[in-house]
Amino acid sequence: LDKNAALWIGTQNGLWRFKDGSFTKFTTNDGLVGDSVHFITQSRDDAIWIGTMAGVSRFKDGRFENLTTENGLTNNYVREIIEDSDGTIWLGTYGGGINRLRNGRINAVTTGQGLHDNYVSRILIDETNKFWVLGNLGVFSVTREELNSVADGISSSLVGGLFTAADGMKSSEASGGNQPAGIRAKDGRLWFPMIKDVVIIDPRELNYEPPKVLIESVSTQVGDSIPSLSEGSALKDRIQLGSGASNLEIKFTGIEFTHPDRIRFFYKLEGLDQHWVDAAGRRTATYPYLPSGSYVFRVKAISTTGVWSEETASVEINVAKRFWETGLFLLMCAAAILLTVYFGHKIRVARLEARQRQQEDFTRSLIRSHESERLRLAGELHDGIGQSLLIMRNWAEFGLKHDSLDNEARNHFEQISEVASNTLAETRAIVGNLSPQNLERFGLSEAVRSIVYQIERSSGIKFETRIDDVDDLLSNESQLAAYRSLQECLNNVVKHSGSPTATVEMRRAASGVEVRVEDVGRGFDSEYIFDEDSSGAGFGLRNIGQRIRLLGGSISIESDPEKLTRVVIWIPKDGT
């Protein structure tokens, strides 16, 4: 009977309305979602809601609005429709659990979210706003807040309480499908039809005492064990387990005087579990492997009436680190890595130094071979061509002494004598360059003075010199390197600078000798002079640099294409 005194009747063949003494029939032809009607109710907005085996219809202002699985229902067989205090419509389906209709959106709560049964025949709300859900597996109680939390996706599962044949029912299966399949009486008691009897639940008379949770024992396979409470020993709040512990087993229990065997447990090992684990009635938690570290095991319980334990039982578990997890081992590994890097670096440096020494030895050998070949060539020129030229010149001069020579013959002899003399002078100059005899006879300082004097006479360049006595500072090898370097620099001044003047200095110092050659003529780009990939220009200077570096010395070159060129060579004293 609705607010307008119209009587609504549901049948297997459609919906009937009796008003003002006449009947009106509604079927699918009139827009009803299904002809097999099982539930009828009126909401606060005067709309008539009809639950059928084909979905749910809402009738208002002469037209039907229908909801089916195509619109989001989890099952079309709707046995229950109830409007909540905030206008939310709850639908009980036979096979799809509970569907919540709020703000035009449908959210389902099924066994996948902790509902006891997907076959819902009735939903009643008691004086404390707790929902009582009748199904084929008993009567399930849950708070509105918990139901909404799961429907909104805030919580992942319902907990609630369940009443079955274990609580005194003859059967846990409901007798639903007809309206009403349960009522809330004026005295607050809930009446539910079952297939064998009627179940009456008085929510006010139930035991709402919270269960107490206790941890009994903690044990591992390697033998670490904590005595259980049943043996009279108090469990420690903190337990230390050895490294390598496996198959950790924690036993717990709950105390509740109505149905202690039906307490539902939830546990979590903080540090390993991200969420609470639903253990149902199981009273043991097992962890096959537990890494080293600190953990806190917590367990809580809920009674059959849906009351949570006031406190969670907890125990701290520390698993000792294995040796390779300790700071000492990490320190040793770090030290080993550092030593490996250090000795690897030392070995690499040693190899590079050995390779450099090999290159230096090869270079020295090449220089010695070069000098030896220069000496050989100088000897060949001096003893061979030089002697022949000397004889040729002497014979020409001897022929000129005869008075019987005519003018033409005398001219020929004079030409022969002149050519032989010039060639002999050039040969002696070449021999001097190949084999610095002054260096061997008089030492480096005098040899430098001599070569400067000779170049000054032959080139016309005015040299300003400062030559210190340095012979006692340098070995023969160092003197030869200094002489060859100076010789190369002077040749460059003559050939390339075009400078009218030049400066040559060889200064003595406590730790070595500094050689400086400077002119004011044309310079060159000195940036790439020692680049091995550059062209053949500067080959002589690169050879100088290589010689000097073999002795542990250095060479610097400063040059400006328009102003000057300055070469400074440093050769260390022998033994420094």
The pLDDT tens digits for 149-180 are 999 999 888 888 889 998 889 999 999 888 99
Q: Is pLDDT at 187 greater than 70 in this prediction?
A: yes
pLDDT at 529: 60
* Maximum average pLDDT range among 11-25, 163-177, 548-562: 11-25
In this predicted model, what pLDDT tens digit does every residue of 351-401 receive, in sequence order? 888 887 787 677 667 666 666 666 666 566 656 776 776 677 777 777 777
Structure tokens at 273: 């579990």
C-alpha span between 28 and 50 (Å, rounded): 12
Instruction: Show me where the domains of the chain are located.
Output: 7-205, 212-325, 356-435, 438-572
Q: Is pLDDT at 576 greater than 80 in this prediction?
A: no
Whether 23 contacts 8, CB under 8 Å: no
In this predicted model, what pLDDT tens digit does every residue of 390-448 receive, in sequence order? 677 777 777 777 777 777 777 877 788 778 777 767 776 666 666 666 677 788 888 88
Dihedral of CA atoms 354, 358, 360, 362 in degrees, nearest 10, equals 180
> Hey, which CATH number is domain 438-572, 3.40.1390.10, 3.40.50.720, 3.90.550.10, 3.30.565.10?
3.30.565.10
Helix (H) or strand (E) holding 487: helix 476-492
Once rounded to an integer, what is the mean pLDDT over residues 85-96?
A: 95
C-alpha span between 438 and 326 (Å, rounded): 75
pLDDT at 364: 66
Dihedral of CA atoms 270, 273, 275, 280 in degrees, nearest 10, equals -100
In this predicted model, what pLDDT tens digit does every residue of 462-505 receive, in sequence order? 999 999 888 888 888 788 888 878 888 888 888 888 888 999 99
Q: Where are the alpha helices (DSSP H) in 303-443?
A: 327-380, 386-400, 407-434, 437-442
Amino acid making up residue 567: V
Give the CATH fold of the 7-205 domain.
Methylamine Dehydrogenase; Chain H (2.130.10)
Whether 215 contacts 292, CB under 8 Å: no
- Phi/psi for 122 (5° steps) reads -160, 145
pLDDT at 230: 33
Amino acid making up residue 169: M
Reply yes or no: is the peptide bond before residue 180 cis, omega within 30 of 0: yes
User: Hey, is 447 helix, strand or coil?
Assistant: helix
Beta bridge pairs of residue 100: 90, 107
Q: Is pLDDT at 143 greater than 50 in this prediction?
A: yes
- Phi/psi for 294 (5° steps) reads -110, 135
Q: Is pLDDT at 533 greater than 60 in this prediction?
A: no
Per-residue pLDDT band for 222 (boundaries 50, 70, 90) equals: low
In CATH, what number does 212-325 get?
2.60.40.10
